[in-house]
Amino acid sequence: MVTMSPIATVIIFILMLLLVLLSLAYFTYSILLKTRPADRKKPVLPPGSMGWPYIGETFQLYSKNPNTFFALKQKRYGSIFKTHILGCPCVMVSSPEAAKFVLVTRAHLFKPTFPASKERMLGRQAIFFQQGDYHARLRRLVLRAFMPSAIRRTVADIEAVAVRTLRAWDGRRINTFQEMKTYAFNVALLSIFGKDEIEHIEELKECYYRLEKGYNSMPINLPGTLFHKAMKARKELERIVSKILASRRKKLVEFNDLLGSFMEAKEALTDEQITDNIIGVIFAARDTTASVLTWIVKYLGENPSVLQAVTEEQEEIMRSKEIDGDKYLNWDDTKLMPMTSRVIQETMRVASILSFTFREAVEDVNFEGYLIPKGWKVLPLFRNIHHSPDNFPEPEKFDPSRFERSPKANTFMPFGNGTHSCPGNELAKLEMLVLLHHLTTRYRWSLSGSEAGIQFGPFALPLNGLPISFSLKT
């Protein structure tokens, strides 16, 4: 019989133990590797919690700032997670790659989706709800009216609206958001109907104000309900648009505004399609632009050195125009405003007035091993992408100079991305630049100081619409 020395026994024991540990490590590693979502054959639902039956996590989302909810979830589960909001199972995504997948590369697998009452109020044939050929046709018509070569002719008219607007604030304490809404509304109407429909515009505005009161109402069409009143206002809007259409058809001239584009012979839309899309464009153009302008007033008020730099840039343009004897701003002047443009960009990043958008999966979709089931809502979280330190260092800091360099691809999407991205973005930037030219060169304003905070209506907004005291510079 062979006997081993105690030392040899210990060595063999240690070797065997090492072998067992190595096998264990290899086994665990291969299991982990296999269960990495991207390597699994069968995709699994993203991590996350679905909350209570039916109400899901709606209460958690709306009981605090929704952005806190998104940030907490992202911290816990990563850049893709599931939840359940307002009766719908949802997948939220917050990486640039996932947002691009949903909005651009696989956009055909995700259709736009809105609450039923919104769809009925804006009109079922409005651009937001469409996909495919009809959507492409509408986009062509809208872009034709809002691309730079079309809107460059309207700079002086927009300037007249801006000058009139600011003059009316002189010496008053104003609610910035409410006043910016009026400005953005007037510019939107100008770009839709041109200057010549003055006789119908006041009536049209009044109907729109009644309609928008019902935007977030329950779709119960009974006398007395907000929804019923809004639907009545919609009918009146249809009547006004029909009157304008009839008078234009008699004139037999071409118009360069949005209505002209919609009526253009080859691709003409029906009256109903035109009304739905006019209401839709007003809805898309007004509160968005007004919210961004309100944040700009706030950030400029809080950052004197930035305000100084913008003012100097705008005064330089004013001086050179005075020397040339040129009274009105033109398109080329708006291209000499890089500092002001960076302030607009940085405001849109920090404020991210549209924190997210909605889509719905039209079939089961596999994203990097995660299953997004058919019928589930998908929310690309713009704000999380704009506030990630990976994309923008010190993301909470308001620093327009960061836009001296272009942001990384798909990390800056204030106007969305892909097939439904904002066709009004050039007009929005133009009307903001024009207003800021006159605001900074001629006026001063002071913030009340007690209005820190944010509210959602539904766009992110400084608390109480940012009341300010406003006057001419002396």
Binding interface with ligand HEM (CB under 6 A): 112, 127-128, 139, 142, 146, 188, 191, 281, 284-285, 288-289, 292, 353-354, 357, 414-416, 420-424, 427-428
Token reading at 35: 């269960």
Judged by beta carbon, residue 191 or residue 311, the one nearer ligand HEM is 191
Shortest spacing between CB 290 and ligand HEM, in angstroms: 8
CB 14 within 8 A of CB 7: no
CB of 272 to ligand HEM, least distance (A): 17
**Residue with Cβ nearer ligand HEM (60 or 288):** 288
In this structure, are strands 443-447 and 467-472 parallel, antiparallel, or unpaired?
A: antiparallel
Strand partners, 56: 52
Q: Which residues pair with 111 in a beta bridge?
A: 360
C-alpha angle 241-244-250 in degrees, rounded to nearest 5: 140
Tell me the closest approach of the beta carbon of residue 325 to ligand HEM, in angstroms: 32
Strand partners, 217: none
> For residue 305, what are its two tokens?
């050195």
By beta-carbon proximity to ligand HEM, the closer residue of 225 and 345 is 345
End-to-end CA distance of the chain: 111
The phi and psi torsions of 80 (rounded to 5 degrees) equal -140, 125
Q: How far apart are CA 94 and CA 381, in angstroms?
A: 5
Minimum separation from the CB atom of position 111 to ligand HEM (A) = 11
Smallest gap from Cβ 127 to ligand HEM, in A, equals: 5
How many contiguous H segments (helices) and E segments (strands) does the chain have? 18, 12
- Provide the minimum distance between the beta carbon of 397 and ligand HEM in the complex, in angstroms, as a whole number: 21
CB of 347 to ligand HEM, least distance (A): 9
In the bound state with ligand HEM, the residue whose beta carbon lies nearer, of 214 and 380, is 380
Q: Which C-beta is closer to ligand HEM: that of 284 or that of 436?
A: 284
**Closest residue by Cα to residue 120 from 285, 276, 288, 278:** 276
Give kind and range of the element (H or E) at residue 279: helix 271-302
What tokens appear for 349 in the block? 């990043």
Measured from the CB atom, the residue of 158 and 284 that comes closer to ligand HEM is 284
For the bound state, the minimum distance from the C-beta of residue 146 to ligand HEM, rounded and expressed in Å, comes to 6
Closest residue to ligand HEM, judged by C-beta, is 424
CA–CA distance from 170 to each of 252, 295, 471 (Å)? 42, 20, 5
* CB nearer to ligand HEM: pick between 48 and 423: 423
Q: Minimum CB separation from ligand HEM for residue 324, in Å?
A: 30
Nearer to ligand HEM, 188 or 439 (CB): 188
Query: Cα(371)–Cα(43) distance, rounded to whole angstroms?
Result: 5
> Binding site annotation covers 422?
yes
**Strand-by-strand arrangement of the 467-472 sheet:** 172-175, 467-472, 443-447
DSSP 12-63: HHHHHHHHHHHHHHHHHHHHHHHHSGGG-SS-BPPSB---BTTTBTHHHHHH
Query: What is d(CA 212, CA 280) in angstroms, rounded to the nearest whole number?
Result: 11
Q: Is residue 445 within a helix (H) or strand (E), and if so which, with residue range?
A: strand 443-447
Kindly tell me which of 60 and 125 has the beta carbon lying closer to ligand HEM. 125
Is the Cα dihedral 344, 349, 350, 353 positive or negative? positive
Instruction: Provide the minimum distance between the beta carbon of 307 and ligand HEM in the complex, in angstroms, as a whole number.
Output: 20
Q: Which is nearer to ligand HEM, 43 or 414 (CB)?
A: 414
Write b or e for each residue in 147-167: b if 16 or more Cβ atoms lie within 10 A of its Cβ, otherwise e.
eeebbeebbebbbebbbebbe
Say how far apart CA 24 and CA 79 lie, in whole Å: 31
Binding site as annotated, residues for heme: 422
| Binding-site residue set | 422
